[in-house]
Amino acid sequence: MVEYVYLIMTDDGPKKAGIIIIGNEILSGKVVDANSSFLAKELRAIGVNLMRISVIPDDAGTIGKEILEFSETYDYVFTSGGVGPTHDDVTMEGIASGFHVGIVRHPELVRHLMNYCGGRTNAAVMKMAEVPEGAEIIDIGNAGFPLVSFRNVFIFPGIPQYLVKKFSAIKERFRCSPFYLRRLYLDAKESDIAEILNTVVAENRDVAFGSYPIIDNPGYKVVVTAESRSRERVDLSVEDLIKRLPKEMIVRVEKNDNQ
């Protein structure tokens, strides 16, 4: 059974991911989370399907339960936050309790912390060397402190500058086949195009369409997106849509083959 799960996870198809943002400061409105939108954009650009984002408090029990569930559901899990030296940093403790493993002090992290503090460490600092048993250390070269992973969970710090640096250093390992995205900017109310769009959607089930009303823009009122991993299929479906829409509604069509 376990082997079967691993077979699914290592096949060549598109991968699914989940993001868990850990931090009372986000839930209490003190800090605006920038990490989930950064990761969402990056994952899309490398072809990974992001399925869910959770923002949860600094509570070890909640963290462990959530990470375990994500780990069992998605190919990759990216967490942000809760890895510093203070009392509210309980991500490692949460993972250990959620996966029923112990906490160990990782020698490589001890070495990094000793270097970082010039030898002057204390108990609070050494907490940052503690990881769930079985965690791995990903040395990311000149991007600073190593990154810790546990099974399919990649444990990022909450500070956006560090998260960006670390994710950028390792992102190529997650790359899948790309998405092809088309955007139609329309000078029409969403309610005026809904029936035409619904027909095209029904006839192109393998293309993902989205429709987004835009407020206060003088040039266009709706953006319709079409997306697929097949360039041919997305282009055919967009041609189909363009043919059915009144010409005067179409402001412009954008192609993006890099995302």
Give the footprint of a copy of itself on this chain (CB under 8 A).
21, 24-33, 36-37, 40-45, 50-58, 84-88, 117, 121-125, 127-128, 159, 161-162, 179, 181, 190-191, 194-195, 197-198, 201-202, 208-213, 215-216, 225, 227
Q: How far is the CB of 7 from a copy of itself (least distance, A)?
A: 25
Contact 97, 60 (CB under 8 A): yes
Q: How far is the CB of 98 from a copy of itself (least distance, A)?
A: 16
Q: What ranges make up the beta strands (E) of the chain?
A: 16-22, 49-56, 76-80, 103-105, 130-132, 136-138, 147-150, 153-156, 180-186, 208-213, 222-228, 250-256
69: phi then psi, degrees, rounded to nearest 5? -65, -45
Angle at 52 between CA 56 and CA 83, to 5 degrees: 40
Compute the distance between CA of residue 220 and CA of residue 190 in angstroms, rounded to an integer: 11
Residue showing tokens 């192109």: 204
- The residue (of 1 and 215) whose beta carbon lies closer to a copy of itself is 215
- The residue (of 133 and 240) whose beta carbon lies closer to a copy of itself is 240
Q: How far is the CB of 170 from a copy of itself (least distance, A)?
A: 18
- The residue (of 142 and 191) whose beta carbon lies closer to a copy of itself is 191
Under DSSP, is residue 18 helix (H, G, I), strand (E, B) or coil?
A: strand
Contact 95, 56 (CB under 8 A): no
Q: How far is the CB of 31 from a copy of itself (least distance, A)?
A: 7
Q: How far is the CB of 3 from a copy of itself (least distance, A)?
A: 28
- The residue (of 5 and 124) whose beta carbon lies closer to a copy of itself is 124
Amino acid letter for position 205: R
- The residue (of 101 and 171) whose beta carbon lies closer to a copy of itself is 171
